[in-house]
A = this chain, B = another copy of it.
């Protein structure tokens, strides 16, 4: 079992995407044994298994799951189907989703969550020691095991219940997905005026860098914070041919104005 330090941790990875890749590499570096990598597409499974010195399989029936940690690192909507097909009598089954309740795994004897709160890309190196890993367990002993495993790969292990994980995932949608859409809108506005996105990269870097030490509620600036109606009206007019951009501009500005007023 994962919580005995004398024995090398055995891991089975279900999935071959970016989360599986980065988790697998970190676990291997932390001296875990990656026993098998599963993907319905055997060439995907092989590509990752080779990197992780593991065996590739494309059938869930072939899983040698006992005494192992089985990590479901697949898309949210693939979890249910895999759970249905997977047979585990001894071992811990976890998924890595921020947005899926833990009890989808309740048919297993021990189960839990290993949710890395980071965005992973194929060609970018991520230092897993700085990745917050949110864990949850079906019982105290499982939670302890998962805590031990998580600490071998990350310095930032958090125990979150399902409600908190749901909130953390929603917060991540704002901090990552929605933020990226802000960048994307900015790129479009520049492109329309034949300006390169290059112009904004230093500003974007500094905006993110600034809040590494301070609270974003302190670092807010701009026309909405000053409730500068003239500038806001002018900028909304600049977006006149795009109702969606106007909606976004108005809703966010209203939020900033509201927050500034509540602080006074």
B248 A199 Cβ-Cβ under 8 A: no
Proximity bits, A149-191, B CB within 8 Å = 1, else 0: 0000000101010011011101111111111111111110110
Q: A238 → chain B, closest Cβ, in Å?
A: 6
- Determine whether A41 belongs to the interface, using a CB cutoff of 8 Å to chain B: no
Residues of B within 8 A of A223 (CB): 99, 173, 177
Known contacts being A177-B225, A187-B216, A190-B168, is A121 close to B203, with CB within 8 Å?
no
**A211 interface residue (CB < 8 Å to B):** yes
Q: Which of A24-32, A87-95, A105-113, A124-132 contacts B (4 or more CB under 8 A)?
A: A124-132
The answer to whether A47 has its CB under 8 Å from any CB of chain B is no
Nearest CB in chain B to that of A252: its residue = B178
For the complex, is A192 an interface residue (Cβ under 8 Å from B)? yes
- Which B residues lie within 8 Å of A7 (CB)? none
Given contacts A174-B185, A184-B217, A244-B255, 14 further A-B contacts (CB under 8 A): A77-B228, A117-B203, A118-B202, A124-B210, A170-B239, A173-B222, A174-B189, A175-B203, A176-B207, A177-B223, A177-B224, A183-B216, A184-B220, A248-B248
Question: Which residues on B sit within 8 Å (CB–CB) of A212?
Answer: 201, 204-205
Q: Is the CB of B235 within 8 A of A173?
A: yes
Chain B residues closer than 8 Å to A21, beta-carbon distance:
none
Bound complex: CA A15 to CA B24 (Å): 55
The CA of A247 and the CA of B244, in the complex, are separated in Å by: 11
A180-B164 in contact (CB<8A): no
Which size bracket describes the interface of A in this complex?
Answer: 35 or more
Q: Which residues 1-49 of A sit at the B interface, judged by CB distance below 8 A? A: none
Docked pose: A238 CA to B108 CA in angstroms: 29
**In the complex, residue of chain B having the shortest beta-carbon distance to the beta carbon of A176:** B207
A32 to B132, CA, bound (A): 47
What B residues does A252 contact at CB under 8 A?
178, 181, 248
Residues in B neighbouring A118, C-beta threshold 8 A? 202-203, 206
Please tell me if A231 contacts chain B, counting CB pairs below 8 Å: yes
A51 in contact (CB, < 8 A) = no
Q: How far is the CA of A215 from the CA of B179 in the complex (A)?
A: 13
Which 7 A-B residue pairings sit nearest by Cβ, starting from the closest? A177-B222, A208-B208, A183-B216, A171-B186, A167-B193, A247-B251, A175-B186
Across the interface, do A251 and B254 meet the contact criterion of CB distance under 8 Å?
A: no
A119 at the interface (CB under 8 A from B): yes
B172 touching A186 by the CB < 8 A rule? yes
B181 A256 Cβ-Cβ under 8 A: yes
Interchain nearest-CB distance for A89 vs B (Å) = 32
